[in-house]
Amino acid sequence: MERDVLIVTAILVAAGAAIAWERRERVREQAKAAEDAARPIIVVAKMREADKYAEPLGVALERANLGKVTGSGADLTVELTDLERGLALIKRELLRLGASRDTTLEFTRKGVRNVESVMHLYLEPGKRYRVIKAFVDHDRDAHPEGEEWTFLRSAFVPYHSGMSWFVAFDGREETHVRLQGIPEEQGYVLDNLAEFLVEA
């Protein structure tokens, strides 16, 4: 009987220690996630005449509460609080201000260094876009200049370099727009989306 009590006690002590360890690990992971989220994300814009764009871009970032310009010279250095929304704003503003199309943005996402063209546009769910340069999709449907729709979501099929956009022309009914990211299809459109679309 006494032996059984000792075994049960040992099991309870071990279980308690395991639970305590798991809680400590969870707290540590949450603290690290909070620290990572609070750390600003550095984006370097490789561009000509960087000084010319520092002030207006800084104003736009601070107005949107997405970050600030921290340095200019040969390049433009920006600190962002939200990478995806901040990148979209930087690209939109630099193009609006007349920055060169060969401007690139360098940043690290999930430990991986990335370089993106300023012409690479992120489509944000729920936002309305207008076609500013006509293009034809994979199904040979034309999308003329002036066409507008609300972007709902996208899906990517790596095997065929296929990109599907789900959009709403009337705000309600969903329409499927298919594109293929290879040079002979819509590769140029997808790589230079800011040339074809603008937020309406």
- Reply yes or no on whether the pLDDT at 35 is more than 60: no
81 close to 34: Cβ distance less than 8 angstroms: no
Tell me what percent of the residues of the chain surpass a pLDDT of 90. 59
Tell me what percent of the residues of the chain surpass a pLDDT of 70. 86
pLDDT digits (tens, 9 = 90+) for 115-174: 999 998 888 899 999 999 999 999 999 999 999 999 999 998 877 889 999 999 987 789
The ranges assigned to domains in the chain are 39-117, 128-199
**pLDDT, average across residues 99-108:** 93
In which band, very low, low, confident or very high, does the pLDDT at 26 lie, cut at 50, 70 and 90? Answer: confident
**How far is residue 133's CA from residue 130's CA, in Å, rounded to a whole number?**
9
Q: For 128-199, CATH number?
A: 2.30.30.350
In which band, very low, low, confident or very high, does the pLDDT at 2 lie, cut at 50, 70 and 90? Answer: low
Best CATH choice for the domain 39-117 from the list 1.10.150.130, 2.40.128.20, 1.10.274.50, 3.30.70.100: 3.30.70.100
Q: Regarding predicted confidence, which is higher, 166 or 72?
A: 166
What's residue 1's pLDDT? Answer: 64
